[in-house]
Amino acid sequence: MTLSPKQQRFLNFVQRYTVEHSQAPSYQEIMDGMGFGSLGTVHWYVNALTHNGHLNRSKGPNGKRALTLTCEEHATPARLPLLGLIAAGEPIEALENAEAIPVPQPFVHPDNFVLQVKGDSMIGDHIEDGDYIIVRKSAEANPGQIVVALINGEATLKRYHPVNGHVELHPRNPNYPVITIHKTDHFQINGVLLYSFREY
């Protein structure tokens, strides 16, 4: 059965939340995350998508955090372009190529891309050397978000902190210094981190 855009968005939310938090969302978290006005709306979507074979309730109708996508949903092929390397240590230039790698379906979007991390300055956020990150193209970020930033033409991965009229980029490893952006620096945000993963 063909899904409506709203039903697909619901499934994407469930899968994305499960991937990011290593557990399924509660009905309350779905209501908040989807902007629904009541839990009844969540129940309606769950019942419809379960009936149509797109969702399973692994612990029965009343089970908590029991929503899982069916095998057919997980089997949907999904890839994003791997644009190159991003430094989580000293800034290096991102490399351009046309390779694409598998990613969870909910992260597929025209504005999203993948970079491979080089360095260990973000290990406090569980981002290690060799990991992959999914990034949403954006020229803006909220304080504290992990960003892909360009400093004088070189790319780096850090937490973004605007402080008293200037910008600081914070590593998550005490062995690396905070990068302070000066007025003479050419600085821009290229994207915000959505998700990180590694291949074994």
Q: Which of 26, 59, 138, 158 is catalytic?
A: 158
Q: Which of 121, 137, 138, 183 is catalytic?
A: 121
Phi, psi (deg, nearest 5) at residue 47: -65, -45
* Cα separation of the two ends of the chain: 35
Strand partners, 187: 151
Q: CB neighbours of 75 closer than 8 A, spacing ≥ 6?
A: none
Q: Residues 69, 134: contact at Cβ < 8 Å?
A: no
Please report, for residues 4, 38, 137, 164, the alpha-carbon distance to residue 149 in angstroms, rounded to integers and kept in the order given: 36, 39, 11, 19
158 in catalytic set:
yes
Q: CB neighbours of 35 closer than 8 A, spacing ≥ 6?
A: none
Quick one: CA dihedral 117, 123, 125, 127, positive or negative? Answer: positive
121 in catalytic set:
yes
Which of the residues are catalytic?
121, 158
